[in-house]
């Protein structure tokens, strides 16, 4: 049976005169010097409810949420791993929680040390010379990295490089960021095995190309074995090689982009380094550069002064600010806590375990789901819908059917290389029992698609909303109380 479409709004639970807190009477006196144009003419519309109603309302609303803390969340290209609670606790310690970005740096030396230490660790993990933590997201990191690349070319008086090469399998943010940074996009094709067509890439490299953006493992979960060859060709053509490290998870402890020949990279701390994400929460997309490109990174930066103290450099830089201050500080604390908790040996297990889990799920389902690119895969893989296409059951139907079993849907219809893409990333934090339960449900859905396809197509049966008009929901969503009233 369907849950209620939505739990009542707090306004709908309101009764005039009812209240949950007693405040002392207070006479605010005359309204100071406020001009009449600033005074409200109608009463403030606030809900009036008792305390238990408020508590139940918000607790029940929160139960409508699905998160990695409530269940398995195999959303490909998103690394929805479990985020240890100890990292959240670190954000709230007494020395950190009350910090203000504008307080004198002499009173925030510890915070600046956290910042600088994380930059150094990321440089070590990525095989880069230097990092900036400024950017607020992966896409913002891409934009920042591309602006660094532009500043590099311009510093050499090279103004002809106005184009950036992006593989057709790339995350949508790659071409979008390149366009935001003012570049024209040149697409390269993927081969049947999902890797970049090096021949096609070579034919497009010339003096108009500023950079080539690569993701490795790429978005179909395949390792790009030709990277050394690609790096050589890109550098020979005078361009730089950009690494989209949003999904650094499979690389941890196994390989470093810097060692493969990448010049500039970003990392999504909110995917790999333990910040819960989804729903637009705070993130960070630090950008690393190889030796020789450090001077093109944006300010503000934390600098080490001669007397050993730390300060912030707000001065001019190569292309202007991407952030007013140092960035999303709480995300850095969680990332550093995560790195220090796991240590070098622990981090080195992340990539191999994420890879093992992905291959386990892939191997357990590929007899029923179409695997267009044979494994082994890295941290994620892509099915092209069911093998039995005669059932009429689509990837969207499968994704929705999973919801009735307490699993979040995988990423669907991305990458664009296949019509029925179903992209699964289990991550390293899941137990064999969880993976087996997911596999069992996926197998069940595939079997049911043959015998009772309409039942699968009718799912989900247990969610507040099951089959909204997708276009309408995307183009004119009703998001406010006034729209629902």
Ligand X SMILES: *Cc1c(COP(=O)(O)O)cnc(C)c1O
- Residues in touch with ligand X (CB under 6 A): 77, 137-139, 171, 173, 215, 219, 244, 246-247, 268, 283, 285
Nearest approach, Cβ of 289 to ligand X (angstroms)?
18
Nearest approach, Cβ of 352 to ligand X (angstroms)?
20
In the complex with ligand X, the residue whose CB is nearer, 140 or 400, is 140
Q: Is there a cis peptide before residue 76, judged by omega within 30 degrees of 0? A: no
In the complex with ligand X, the residue whose CB is nearer, 139 or 446, is 139
Nearest approach, Cβ of 295 to ligand X (angstroms)?
26
In the complex with ligand X, the residue whose CB is nearer, 230 or 246, is 246
In the complex with ligand X, the residue whose CB is nearer, 247 or 395, is 247
In the complex with ligand X, the residue whose CB is nearer, 111 or 246, is 246
In the complex with ligand X, the residue whose CB is nearer, 139 or 399, is 139
What span, in angstroms and rounded, lies between the C-alpha atoms of 128 and 242?
12
Nearest approach, Cβ of 37 to ligand X (angstroms)?
41
What span, in angstroms and rounded, lies between the C-alpha atoms of 335 and 354?
18
Nearest approach, Cβ of 319 to ligand X (angstroms)?
20
In the complex with ligand X, the residue whose CB is nearer, 125 or 393, is 125
Buried b (16+ CB within 10 A) or exposed e, 281-297: ebbbbbbbbbeebbebb
Nearest approach, Cβ of 166 to ligand X (angstroms)?
11
In the complex with ligand X, the residue whose CB is nearer, 380 or 430, is 380
In the complex with ligand X, the residue whose CB is nearer, 57 or 379, is 379
SS (H, E, C) the chain: CCCCCCCCCCCCCCCCCCCCCCCCCCCCCCCCCCCHHHCCCCCCCCCCCCHHHHHHHHHHHHCCCCCCCCCCCCECCCCCCCCCHHHHHHHCCCCCCCCCCCCCHHHCHHHHHHHHHHHHHHHHHHCCCEEECCCCCHHHHHHHHHHHHHHHHHHCCCCCCCEEEEECCCCCHHHHHHHHCCCEEEEECECCCCCECHHHHHHHCCCCEEEEEECCCCCCCCCCCCHHHHHHHHHHCCCEEEEEECCCHHHCCCCCHHHHCCCEEEECHHHHCCCCCCCCCCCCCCEEECCCCHHHCCCCEEEECCCCCEEEECCCCCCCCCCCCCCCHHHHHHHHHHHHHHHHHHHHHHHHHHHHHHHHHHHHHCCCECCCCCCCCCCCEEEECECCHHHCCCHHHHHHHHHCCCCCCCEECCCCCCCCEEEECCCCCCCHHHHHHHHHHHHHHHHHHHHCHHHHHHCCCCCCCCCCCHHHHHHCCCCCHHHHC
What span, in angstroms and rounded, lies between the C-alpha atoms of 275 and 328?
11
Nearest approach, Cβ of 135 to ligand X (angstroms)?
9
Nearest approach, Cβ of 270 to ligand X (angstroms)?
6
149 contacts 242 by C-beta, under 8 angstroms? yes
Nearest approach, Cβ of 75 to ligand X (angstroms)?
10
Nearest approach, Cβ of 142 to ligand X (angstroms)?
7
Nearest approach, Cβ of 355 to ligand X (angstroms)?
16
In the complex with ligand X, the residue whose CB is nearer, 329 or 397, is 329
Q: How many CB atoms lie within 10 A of CB 249?
A: 25
The residue of the chain with the least Cβ separation from ligand X equals: 138
In the complex with ligand X, the residue whose CB is nearer, 224 or 459, is 224
């Amino acid at each position: 049976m369907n849950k209620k479409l939505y739990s009542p709004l707090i306004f709908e639970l309101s009764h005039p005169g009812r209240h949950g807190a007693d405040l002392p009477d207070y006479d605010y006196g005359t309204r100071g010097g406020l001009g009449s144009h600033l005074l409200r003419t109608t009463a403030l519309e606030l809900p009036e409810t008792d305390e238990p109603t408020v508590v139940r309302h918000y607790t029940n609303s929160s139960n409508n949420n699905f998160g990695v803390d409530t269940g398995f969340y195999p959303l490909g290209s998103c690394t929805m791993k479990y985020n240890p609670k100890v990292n959240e606790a670190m954000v709230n310690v007494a020395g950190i929680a009350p910090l203000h970005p504008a307080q004198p740096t002499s009173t925030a030396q510890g915070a600046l040390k956290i910042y600088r230490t994380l930059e150094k660790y990321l440089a070590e993990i990525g095989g880069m010379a230097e990092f900036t933590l400024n950017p607020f997201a992966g896409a913002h990191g891409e934009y920042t990295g591309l602006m660094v690349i532009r500043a590099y070319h311009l510093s050499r008086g090279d103004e002809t490089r106005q184009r950036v090469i992006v593989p057709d399998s790339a995350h949508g943010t790659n071409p979008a960021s390149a366009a935001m940074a003012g570049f024209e996009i040149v697409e390269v094709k993927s081969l049947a095995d999902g890797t970049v067509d090096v021949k096609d890439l070579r034919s497009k490299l010339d003096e108009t190309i500023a950079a080539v953006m690569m993701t490795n493992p790429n978005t179909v979960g395949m390792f790009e074995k030709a990277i050394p060859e690609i790096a050589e060709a890109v550098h020979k053509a005078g361009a730089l090689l950009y690494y989209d490290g949003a999904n650094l998870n499979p690389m941890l402890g196994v390989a470093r982009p810097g060692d493969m020949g990448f010049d500039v990279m970003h990392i999504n701390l909110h995917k790999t380094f333990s910040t819960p994400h989804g729903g637009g929460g705070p993130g960070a997309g630090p950008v690393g550069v190889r030796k020789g490109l450090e001077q093109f990174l944006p300010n503000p930066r934390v600098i080490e002064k001669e007397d050993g103290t730390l300060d912030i450099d707000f001065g001019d830089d190569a292309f202007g600010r991407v952030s007013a201050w140092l960035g999303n500080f709480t995300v850095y604390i969680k990332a550093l806590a995560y790195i220090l908790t796991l240590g070098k040996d622990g981090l080195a297990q992340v990539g191999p375990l994420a890879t093992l889990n992905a291959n386990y799920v892939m191997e357990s389902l590929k007899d029923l789901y179409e695997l267009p690119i044979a494994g082994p895969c890295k941290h994620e893989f892509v099915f092209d819908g069911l093998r039995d296409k005669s059932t009429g059951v689509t990837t969207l139907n499968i994704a929705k059917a999973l919801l009735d079993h307490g699993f979040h849907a995988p990423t669907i219809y991305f990458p664009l290389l296949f019509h029925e893409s179903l992209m699964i990333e289990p991550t390293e934090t899941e137990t064999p029992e969880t993976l087996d339960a997911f596999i069992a449900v996926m197998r069940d859905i595939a079997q049911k698609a043959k015998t009772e396809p309409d039942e699968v197509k009718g799912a989900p049966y247990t969610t507040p909303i099951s089959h909204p008009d997708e276009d309408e929901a995307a183009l004119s969503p009703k998001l406010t109380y006034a729209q629902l009233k």
